[in-house]
Homo-oligomer: A and B are copies of this chain.
């Protein structure tokens, strides 16, 4: 019988899991360092919670569940979660009476999308989200999130650029360029591809959608501008002066940018990217996107969403957050060779039941000292046992055969160096291992 797994899902080997756990633990530690608290929401939500929050595309990519049993007639009213933001907002609304606001939480969980599997795009993947929900509104949230990303990726030794933009600036651009309201969404969707497909293809797309060449060029003028933040700010403040929203957007970005510059980042770079729009329907203010320094594949994003909770009947709350794609980070770091190899422990050679029992106190002692020690389960040929250590990158193997028992010695082999030595005491062995 042939065994396989569903398309777009993956098995992770031990070597991969060690690296993934290293990423998760680093991200978790930094989230907590910044005062975000862990919560967890179910993998399954009611369809009514999820549908209509991600736009049409999102709705069609939802993994729906059958009711239990074999009855296809039972129509599904549940689905696997599509991201962590909507479940989080649902959580806030449902638990609003127990929660202390402002509420800062993080979640590290898998999400599912019935998307076409591609390189680097999976149907099951992990997101790492940090969000904050408040009844009032502060741009210090954005500043904290940017500092947080800087901390995480500095720790990972992974150079990133944080792109920032603002939905209100995009609205200002639309107004300035004289683009009709009903084309606004098409405009931003195409604009967002600027870095991926380039100026010409974006223009082609926009023209096809009914945006005039004149409008396109008016906007493109600013996207072509290779200026620092302050010059962009100057030019755009003039250009968008007739749009109240546009001016407000620029002001927000300016506040964030100036404070970040004052506080200073460690390794990350903050850059105003006018083409950044992001797909998620729910963003209403700042938008963030994280890309590695030397390629343009997004490894995370976020922004401010002010109306999402309205959909659940809770008004006047503002949310802002960042979502990191664990799998994308993994692939990018693997590609750049940024993972350190993880060292390992001891294999206890099995010479038979009596010998093992006699020497088991050594296993217990090493484990007590926190040294990961495994007993080879069978009294297989010694060569096979050493090969097992070698194949699993276990650096040391301890042998206690009849000989060693008689002489009251401990024999330990360094697998890589192929050297072997006899020790008089457990403590000598321990010194060698730590």
Residues of A bordering B, CB below 8 Å: 1-6, 9-14, 17-18, 20-21, 32-46, 48-49, 60-70, 72, 75-76, 78, 80, 90-91, 93-95, 98, 100-102, 104-105, 110, 112, 114, 123-124, 132, 134, 136-138, 140-141, 144, 151, 255, 259, 262-263, 311-313, 345, 347, 350, 353, 356-357, 360, 364, 367, 370-378, 380, 388, 391-392, 394
Residues in B neighbouring A76, C-beta threshold 8 A:
66, 72
Our pick among B10, B21, B376, B378 for the contact of A137 (Cβ within 8 Å) is B378
> Nearest 4 pairs between A and B by C-beta?
A35-B374, A68-B114, A14-B37, A9-B42
Bound complex: CA A20 to CA B40 (Å): 10
Bound complex: CA A383 to CA B353 (Å): 68
Residues in B neighbouring A375, C-beta threshold 8 A:
35, 140, 144
Residues in B neighbouring A132, C-beta threshold 8 A:
377
Bound complex: CA A299 to CA B5 (Å): 30
Q: Say yes or no: B140 contacts A356, CB within 8 Å.
A: yes
Residues in B neighbouring A263, C-beta threshold 8 A:
357, 360, 364
Task: Pick the most buried of A66, A134, A364, A394: most chain B CB atoms within 10 A of its CB.
Answer: A66
A68 to chain B, nearest CB (A): 3
Nearest CB to that of A75 among chain B residues?
A: B72
What are 26 contact pairs spanning A and B, CB under 8 A? Answer: A3-B90, A4-B94, A6-B45, A9-B42, A9-B44, A11-B39, A11-B94, A14-B39, A17-B37, A17-B38, A18-B37, A21-B38, A34-B373, A43-B43, A44-B63, A60-B70, A65-B66, A100-B388, A100-B391, A104-B374, A136-B377, A140-B353, A140-B356, A140-B375, A262-B360, A263-B364
Q: Say yes or no: B6 contacts A44, CB within 8 Å.
A: yes
Residues in B neighbouring A10, C-beta threshold 8 A:
42
Instruction: Take A6-B44, A63-B68 as given contacts and tell me if A138 and B378 are in contact as well, using a CB distance cutoff of 8 Å.
Output: yes
A85 to chain B, nearest CB (A): 14
Our pick among B1, B39, B48, B367 for the contact of A34 (Cβ within 8 Å) is B367
A405 to chain B, nearest CB (A): 15
Residues in B neighbouring A14, C-beta threshold 8 A:
37-39, 105
Nearest CB to that of A41 among chain B residues?
A: B11
